[in-house]
């Protein structure tokens, strides 16, 4: 039986991962979250991990007092989360933390030589070549959890060599504002943005889907995971979220992975790879589905997709800067402090930061991250 560590176990992906783990009777090595000591206490009692951590120190001391009767070691702060990530009596570490907070734990797992199942796309986007090169030198595999990247990964298994890969077809649902003009987007609220048509996810990624910054992050994620240039990635809007992405080979053959929109399918594949097991997800009813629709993305209205493409093409730490600017702007929108259209405008301010350094350390990345956040806050008057 596999042993699994889950970082971000109280979130949307974390809870669905625990669902998969329960179904297969896997052993849980470590669990971490930010502040939710009640949920984490319940998980500790049920899954009996070796260690657990809360990033927030106060919540961690509350948790420690509550689970003093268990044998789970309770850690705190970023260092505690990283210690759980590198707990090496495990087969695979699933990073389901949201945002840049996932970068240090990603590096810890990789440095400890632990296979990484990656939901936390921000750590790969912000960490760029540092994450990739460290994984390579430690012979660590990064298995995608994001549904699109899992689909690409599964489709690529159809060819023994990636050399014949012509392009990647990255699908996007289009989010709740598909078809709207910039004028119509002026007055949209956080409640409107949180109404995703197909997926139930955490608040940050749901807003990223509404701006299409999420697809921009995924474009960069795909370039890193599959060693392709942005020009080789075609983004196409597919409203039904049934075809989760595809690859086209030089002979014109297109291989795709389809399934109902249920994250437990890609989560499970990352945890069980290279095996497949029965999943709690249901099957597609093709007759009921009747049709699948595809559209060109409207990049003039949803500029965030261009922003990410430009950032990756500029190279260096520009992806780190736009990721950080987005995290701040996304949060300010969720706090109703800025309008929906201001998100993209604020993210563009990150291009004013000098990010051209092509080789960088974790400290360089964190410096650019802080600078981009400060820039956004200053412009927004916060
Ligand atoms: P979520 O907000 O539901 O959960 C986030 C988890 O991270 C929680 O357990 C929280 O306690 C933890 N966390 C938050 N801040 C932290 C910090 N500073 N330090 C340590 N832990 C912290 O988010 P989610 O929707 O589960 O998304 C998690 C990641 O997976 C994101 O990177 C997202 O882009 C990616 N993802 C999510 C989905 C989805 O369906 N939800 C799909 C694809 C990719
Ligand atoms: Mg996705």
Torsion angles phi and psi, residue 247, rounded to 5: -130, 145
Question: What average pLDDT does range 255-275 have in this prediction?
Answer: 97
Rounded Cα gap, residues 360 and 9, in angstroms = 30
The chain-wide mean pLDDT, for the chain, equals: 97
CA atoms within 13 A on the CB side of 148: 28
Contact assessment for residue 144 and residue 266, using Cβ atoms and an 8 Å cutoff: yes
Give the Å distance between the CA of 94 and the centre of ligand 2. 16
- The reported pLDDT for the residue numbered 236 is 98
Beta bridge partners of 92: 4, 115
Of 25-34, 93-102, 162-171, 209-218, where does mean pLDDT reach its minimum?
162-171
Q: In the chain, helix, strand, coil percent, each to 5?
A: 50, 15, 35
Percent of the chain with pLDDT strictly greater than 70:
100
More confident residue, 162 or 101: 101
Q: Is the CB of 201 under 6 A from ligand 1?
A: yes
Sign of the dihedral through C-alpha 286, 287, 288, 289: positive
Is 11 a pocket residue for ligand 1 (Cβ < 6 Å)?
yes
What is the crossing angle of helices 57-66 and 37-47, to 10°?
40
Is the CB–ligand 1 distance for residue 81 below 6 Å? yes
What φ, ψ does residue 290 adopt, rounded to 5°? 65, -50
- Our CA angle for 197, 202, 205, nearest 5°, is 75
Q: Judging by beta carbons within 10 Å of its beta carbon (0-12, 13-18, 19+), is residue 75 exposed, middle or buried?
A: buried
Please tell me the number of the ligand nearest to residue 267's CA. Answer: 1
Any bridge partners for residue 27, and if so which? 3
pLDDT at site 321: 98
Q: Does the pLDDT at position 191 exceed 90? A: yes
- Residue 23 pLDDT: 93
Distance CA 282, CA 259 (A): 9
Extents of the domains making up the chain = 3-144, 149-262+283-314
Q: Over range 107-118, report the average pLDDT.
A: 98
Predicted pLDDT at 337: 97
CB 174 within 8 A of CB 236: no
Residue nearest to atom 41 of ligand 1 (CA): 201
147 alpha carbon to ligand 2 midpoint, in Å? Answer: 5
CB of 55 shorter than 6 A to ligand 1: yes
Flag whether pLDDT at 151 surpasses 80: yes
**Residue 196: pLDDT over 90:** no
pLDDT band at 160 (very low <50, low <70, confident <90, very high): confident
What distance in Å separates the CA atoms of residue 135 and residue 120, rounded to the nearest whole number? 15
Asked if pLDDT for residue 197 goes beyond 90, the answer is no
CB 353 within 8 A of CB 371: yes
Determine the average pLDDT of the residues in 172-177: 96
218 CB near ligand 1 (under 6 Å): no
CATH fold of 3-144, please?
Rossmann fold (3.40.50)
Burial of 310 (0-12, 13-18, 19+ CB in 10 A): middle
- Quick one: average pLDDT of 86-112? 97
Average pLDDT over every residue of 73-91: 97
What is the torsional sign of CA 31, 25, 93, 51?
Answer: positive
- Rounded to an integer, what distance in angstroms lies between the CA atom of residue 1 and that of residue 4? 10
In the sheet that 142-144 helps form, which strands lie side by side, from edge to edge?
Answer: 73-76, 51-54, 27-33, 3-7, 92-95, 115-118, 142-144
pLDDT of residue 30: 98
* pLDDT at 190 (0 to 100): 96
| Cβ of residue 97 lying under 6 Å from some atom of ligand 1 | yes
> Looking at the DSSP assignment, which residues form a beta bridge with residue 98?
none
- In testing the pocket of ligand 1, which one of 34, 52, 98, 373 has its CB within 8 Å of the most ligand atoms? 98
- Give the model's pLDDT for residue 162: 61
Beta strand 165-172 with 243-249 is antiparallel
For residue 163, pLDDT over 80 is answered with: no
Mutate to test the pocket of ligand 1, among 105, 119, 145 (most ligand atoms within 8 A of CB): 119
Q: Does residue 266's CB lie within 6 angstroms of at least one atom of ligand 1? A: no
Q: In terms of DSSP H, where are the helices of the chain?
A: 12-24, 37-47, 57-66, 77-85, 103-111, 121-137, 147-156, 182-185, 190-193, 203-211, 213-226, 264-272, 286-289, 304-314, 318-334, 340-348, 362-379
Angle between helices 57-66 and 77-85 (to 10 degrees): 60
What digits encode the pLDDT tens for the residues 1-56?
Answer: 899 999 999 999 999 999 999 999 999 999 999 999 999 999 999 999 999 999 99
């Amino acid at each position: 039986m596999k042993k699994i560590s889950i970082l971000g176990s109280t979130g949307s992906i974390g809870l669905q991962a625990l669902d998969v783990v329960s179904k297969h009777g896997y052993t849980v090595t470590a669990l971490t979250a930010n502040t939710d000591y009640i949920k984490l206490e319940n998980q500790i009692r049920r899954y009996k991990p070796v260690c657990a951590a809360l990033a927030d120190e106060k919540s961690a001391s509350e948790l420690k007092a509550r689970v003093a009767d268990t044998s789970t070691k309770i850690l705190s702060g970023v260092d505690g989360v990283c210690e759980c990530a590198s707990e090496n009596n495990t087969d695979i570490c699933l990073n389901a933390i949201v945002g840049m907070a996932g970068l240090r734990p990603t590096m810890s797992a990789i440095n400890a030589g632990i296979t990484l199942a990656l939901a936390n796309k921000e750590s790969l986007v912000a960490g760029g070549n540092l994450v990739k090169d460290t994984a390579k030198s430690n012979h660590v595999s990064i298995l995608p959890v994001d549904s699109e990247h899992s689909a690409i990964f599964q489709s690529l298994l159809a060819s023994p060599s990636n050399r014949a890969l012509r392009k990647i077809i990255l699908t996007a649902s289009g989010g709740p504002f598909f078809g709207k003009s910039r004028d119509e987007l002026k007055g949209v609220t956080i409640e409107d943005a949180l109404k995703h048509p197909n997926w139930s996810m955490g608040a940050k990624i749901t807003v990223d889907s509404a701006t299409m910054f999420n697809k921009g992050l995924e474009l960069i994620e795909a370039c890193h995971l599959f060693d392709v240039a942005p020009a080789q990635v075609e983004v196409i809007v597919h409203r039904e979220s049934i075809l989760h992405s595809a690859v086209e080979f030089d002979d014109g053959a297109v291989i795709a992975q389809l399934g109902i929109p249920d994250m437990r399918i890609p989560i499970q594949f990352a945890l069980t790879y290279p095996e497949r097991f029965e999943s709690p997800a249901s099957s597609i009813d093709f007759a009921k589905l009747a049709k699948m629709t595809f559209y060109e993305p409207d990049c003039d209205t949803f500029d965030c997709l261009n922003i990410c493409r430009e950032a990756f093409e500029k190279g260096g730490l520009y992806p780190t800067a736009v990721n950080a600017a987005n995290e701040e702007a996304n949060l300010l929108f969720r706090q109703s402090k800025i309008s929906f259209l201001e998100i993209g405008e604020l993210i563009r301010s990150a291009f004013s930061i000098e990010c051209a350094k092509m080789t960088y350390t974790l400290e360089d990345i964190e410096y650019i991250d802080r600078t981009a956040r400060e820039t956004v806050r200053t412009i927004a008057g916060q």
